[in-house]
Structure 1
Amino acid sequence: MHDRETGWFRGAGGIVWQMDLPLPEVMADQLTKGYLTRVNQDGSPYAEKSADEPEQPPAANASKAIWVGYAHRVHGVPIDDAEALTKHDLMELYGSKG
């Protein structure tokens, strides 16, 4: 019997697989950046929070990986393009303007 919490994830190839939670650091980084997407077992979108709740920009002290993921998810920036920018550039382009 499997007594660990697990989650289902889809990678770039579209394959959905189950992984133990919490994810290993390398996989968590891939999830944060958007290379992996958490899904339900059937591959349907996994919703952790209300869909009508807009995602806010990360805090200034958040890691670059979090900013890359944010730019990809919220602003549609291709992951490789977001990775090529510095954290400062990501903050300037996609952070709060206020």
Structure 2
Amino acid sequence: MHLIDVTNSYRELVHSQLNTTNVNYVKVYSLGNTSVIYTESDEAIGIVLKNHDRRIRKEETNFVIERLIKEKNPAYELIADKSQHVIEIHIDK
């Protein structure tokens, strides 16, 4: 699995996030058919995984946490929609 930085392709999303929320850092990655949106504010880190075609696999979630969170064994809250096509990971700082 590879995370590919595709932030430049999502300028409107990044601009919207920075202007309408309290985040101060936004990155967008591609993990095959899964989009990964990483946001960071002074209080928390948020990661959203989204796949329109299929459920997000646990291995993908673990891979993203391992790659994007520098802290060892971070405490996080995982929220998934009913179909598991969208998963949100929330980490308090």
Give the TM-score normalised by structure 2. Answer: 0.27
Tell me which structure has the larger Cα radius of gyration.
1
Report which of the two has the higher share of helix.
Answer: 1
Report which of the two has the higher share of strand.
Answer: 2
